[in-house]
Amino acid sequence: MANGKRMTVRFSVLISIMSITPIRSAMSKKMTMKKMFAGVFVAVVALMSVAEAATVSVDWDDPVGIVKPVNGVGQPPMIGAPTSFPMMRYLKEAGIPYARLHDVGGVYGQFRYVDIPNIFRDFDADETDPKSYSFAYTDALMKALDENGVEPFFRLGVTIDNPVGAGFPGYFIDPPKDFAKWARICEHVIRHYTEGWADGFRMKVTYWEIWNEPDNQPDAKQNPLWNAPFSEFIRLYGVVAPYLKAKFPHLKIGGYSSCGFYAGVGAEQVAAAHSSPRMEYFIDCATNFLAAAQQNSWPLDFFSYHSYSHPTEALRQVRYADELLNRYGFTADKTERIFNEWLPYVSHDTLGTAKQATGIAAEMIGLQNGPCDLACIYDARCNVGNYSPLFNPLTYKPHKAYYAFTAFNELRKLGTAVRAKVSGASSLVAAAAKGTGGAAVMILNDSNAEVPLVCDFGGREVVACRLTDDTHTDASLPLPKTLAPRAFVIVLLK
């Protein structure tokens, strides 16, 4: 209704409808008027559900960089673990580049996977002795990922202990009692997976993240991830990061998975984030951390952070994070920007819906076009609860949101991002890529109104089109002339 032209058209139609409605007699006037206004109401609603037409055009001669690995996931599907991981094939089929290993080791992981207290179970043991480590369960998980072409993104730390916020004790969230020893333990974990130490592996594991959300709550007694002041975490990072970087200069060491920058852009608190409503505290922690890292020249190969906001708000926070890092000298050529927990529209009502799937697709394209180097949605587990957007725990089959990842993978496989422009309807978003295998365009409509669609693909021929919306799931169809509400398409071209 904001567009004056559309408003004029709608009122013209309304007047036309009213002018042709017959009024035959005084007796039938009331019934006729009721029918007339009912018809007018239906007509107006129908008109309001059709948005302004949009034109999507692609300039194949204007490359804008690589298609980035913003289609990573958190916590992979653990069905069948540790003896088998049958659902890992879905990650392979979707071309998932990274799986972040956080919240793998807690309640559902039976305190056996990934977390440092699960691998090194007695902190007083000899960290140089392979017998001090319990690698078996994490080995099985790492092998399953590796066999399916997914690189682990390894979080060094602990799983969230949610009951702490309700007054229950936490068991693994205290700071290590000896920071230097904890660094040496992490060193041996890294050597096990990348250098074969202790009958280990020589896997590609590039990213090693120190802790997760130590800023979750300002009151340590309420913090489910770090039972100490944030200043103690800064001190931990100052010991561990330089040590690990000296041992593994070829790997990427960073952290710390900040709760995010809602306050930086005036965004509302999101209950699904399970973090403090004092959002300014997150920014205070980040500025204190970055100031210390800058002053002490600590390595920060990447800075990671989170958001559970609506896609538009989340992308504003991504830009804020970029600006904040620049302010402290951690420019994009020195420090990667990693957005490794995100999920829009978090609720039971949106799981499996086209609304959430399209929101996820919109956020991925926004991350591709914004100052973000790598992203991992939270998450890819197959479980009950609000944080399992990709898989149905009753059927073990993909939700609609999974196909946002298969669609984006068509761009990733091609490699070179090119400029895609949308004119007209503001609810449409597009991304395009080209490569030796052809070209592809991903288009989505993250609104409640259908949008007439005009596509200018520069003479390229459409060879396939797959649509996901309220009534279709990755359906092979001709390129639609109107894109339905809450819908995305991936168009393959030659």
Q: From first to last of the 494 residues of the chain, give the pLDDT tens digit.
A: 333 333 333 333 333 333 333 333 333 433 443 444 444 444 444 444 566 899 999 999 999 999 999 999 999 999 999 999 999 999 999 999 999 999 997 665 578 999 999 999 999 999 999 999 999 999 999 999 999 999 999 999 999 998 998 889 888 999 999 999 999 999 999 999 999 999 999 999 999 999 999 999 999 999 999 999 999 999 999 999 999 999 999 999 999 999 999 999 988 778 777 777 789 999 999 999 999 999 999 999 999 999 999 999 999 999 999 999 999 999 999 999 999 999 999 999 999 999 999 999 999 999 999 999 999 999 999 988 899 999 999 999 999 999 999 999 999 999 999 999 999 878 899 999 999 989 999 999 999 999 999 999 999 999 999 999 999 999 999 999 999 999 999 999 99
Burial 396-415 (b: 16+ CB within 10 A, else e): eebbbbbbbbbbbbbbbebe
What integer pLDDT is reported at residue 181 of this predicted model? Answer: 98
Helices (H), 264-418: 279-296, 311-327, 354-369, 402-414
Residues with Cβ within 8 Å of residue 20, at least 6 apart in sequence: none
Helix (H) or strand (E) holding 216: none
Helix (H) or strand (E) holding 3: none
Ramachandran angles phi, psi of 306, nearest 5°: -135, 165
Q: Are 479 and 460 in contact (CB under 8 A)?
A: no
Q: pTM score > 0.75 for this model?
A: yes
What integer pLDDT is reported at residue 106 of this predicted model? Answer: 66
**Look-up: residue for tokens 């809450």?**
486
Euclidean distance between the first and the last CA atom of the chain, given in angstroms as a whole number: 38
Burial 364-395 (b: 16+ CB within 10 A, else e): bbbbbbbbbebbbbbbbbbeeeebbbbbeeee
